[in-house]
């Protein structure tokens, strides 16, 4: 995402990067041609600077984009960013949080930003996975107020630098509500795809013909076309590399938990949620870092001997 963003930004703009993991920063610096390592590193002509901290990155930026795993991480980072008070700038600083967290936590962070008059905050979780991030084909689900100026008009062009579609779903927090609904469906369809592929293969069907059948019929879905759990059907999918480098089981467990929390708060009934949680808990017991399509491998290990 960062490389795509830098490639599409005007040459006069500077991309300021920070990550808590120094290994990630070192890898990024190598990929973009910044020889020096550590905070403050930059290279002439790259338009990229490595910040010393999240606070340092925010101070140096007009637009701050955050992507973090858990609600507590987002709260902690914004606690560091907002205290002490940031220097004022014009136009006012824009915070775009692309993390997948619960809407309640996101609204609390938005309130901290707005009540202290340190900028504008929107939620913009994304869908498309690692493949989408690399190819700039992500879909962003935007939650942003329409009550104070042209906020949405300011945010959308920025997100379009990293993705192919931006959907404004309503006021702040609505982007996350949409993302959790989507990822709940993804959690279920991933298991169903794995079960269907496992069933067909166990019945003697050729894997490629089975994949072609499903993807040309009413059972077709993202999990069957783009992220099929059987090797040889979806080029570039994690199944092609032993389920490495995709959307981790641990992240799906987190998103499913957040969706269940949102359902409890809104009174929505989720009939399949508990069973799906049990499946991902069992799959993650051995390795939470594998792509969540590894459910197929887990099912194979549980097949009855015939």
* Catalytic residue set: 179
Query: For the chain, what percentages of helix, strand and coil (3-state, to nearest 5) are there?
Result: 50, 10, 40
CB 74 within 8 A of CB 66: yes
Q: Give the integer Cα–Cα distance in Å for 215 and 233.
A: 10
From the list 138, 141, 61, the residue with the least C-alpha distance to 94 is: 61
Using CA atoms, how far residue 264 sits from 72, 74, 259, 260, 268, in Å, is: 20, 22, 9, 6, 7
DSSP class of residue 194 equals H
Which residue is it, tokens 């493949």?
131
Coil, strand or helix at 148: coil
CB 207 within 8 A of CB 232: yes
Q: Give the integer Cα–Cα distance in Å for 114 and 94.
A: 11
With a CB cutoff of 8 Å and minimum separation 6, the contacts of 47 are 6, 9, 11, 13, 14, 15
């Amino acid at each position: 995402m960062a490389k795509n963003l830098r490639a599409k930004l005007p040459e006069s703009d500077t991309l300021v990067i920070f990550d808590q993991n120094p290994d990630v920063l070192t890898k990024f610096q190598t990929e973009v041609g910044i020889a020096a390592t550590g905070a403050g590193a930059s290279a002439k002509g790259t338009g990229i600077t490595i910040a010393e901290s999240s606070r340092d990155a925010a101070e140096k930026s007009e637009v701050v984009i955050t992507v973090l795993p858990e609600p507590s991480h987002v709260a902690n980072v914004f606690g560091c960013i907002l205290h002490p008070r940031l220097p004022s700038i014009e136009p006012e600083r824009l915070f775009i949080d692309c993390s997948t967290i619960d809407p309640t936590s996101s609204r609390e962070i938005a309130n901290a930003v707005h009540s202290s008059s340190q900028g504008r905050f929107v939620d913009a979780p994304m869908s498309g996975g690692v493949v989408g991030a690399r190819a700039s084909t992500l879909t962003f689900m935007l939650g942003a107020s329409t009550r104070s100026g042209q906020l949405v008009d300011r945010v959308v062009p920025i997100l379009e630098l990293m993705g192919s579609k931006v959907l404004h779903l309503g006021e702040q927090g609505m982007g996350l509500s949409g993302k959790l609904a989507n990822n709940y469906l993804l959690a279920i369809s991933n298991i169903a795809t794995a079960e269907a592929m496992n069933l067909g293969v166990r019945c003697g069907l050729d894997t490629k013909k089975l994949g072609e059948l499903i993807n040309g019929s009413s059972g077709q879905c993202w999990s069957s076309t783009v992220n099929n759990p059987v090797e040889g059907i979806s080029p570039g999918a994690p199944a092609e590399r032993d389920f490495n480098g995709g959307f981790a089981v641990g992240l799906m467990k987190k998103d499913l938990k957040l969706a269940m929390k949102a359902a409890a708060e809104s009174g929505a009934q989720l009939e399949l949620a508990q069973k799906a949680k049990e499946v991902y808990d069992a799959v993650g017991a051995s390795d939470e870092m594998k792509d969540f399509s590894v459910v197929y491998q887990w099912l194979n290990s549980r097949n009855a001997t015939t």
